[in-house]
Amino acid sequence: MKLKYITTLVLIVSLASIIYGFIIKEEQVAFAHKCIGLGTVGIFLIVMPLFLIKESKGKKVKDYMLTEENILKMQGKKPKKTDNQ
């Protein structure tokens, strides 16, 4: 539950930073670019990984990988049996 609130808080702060940067762009161009850049970095380097960690808990990564076995399942064919199985 805490990760959800942290992610939401960082997202709101990042969006506020971007909006603030666009508002002050006329008066302080350099600072406005820093605000917009920091907001963008916050969204893509902090919020996205936190969201992906939260949503992928308890899921098997192998189910979502494009392996030969999964391709055959999607085509409706039976997977080939190998020596390892």
pTM here is 0.70
pLDDT, tens digit only, all 85 positions of the chain: 698 999 999 999 999 999 999 999 999 999 999 999 999 999 999 999 999 989 888 888 777 788 888 888 888 877 666 656 5
Domain ranges of the chain: 2-75
Half-sphere exposure at residue 79, Cβ-oriented, CA atoms within 13 angstroms: 12
SS3 of the chain: the string is CHHHHHHHHHHHHHHHHHHHHHHCCCCCHHHHHHHHHHHHHHHHHHHHHHHHHHHHCCCCHHHHCCCHHHHHHHHCCCCCCCCCC
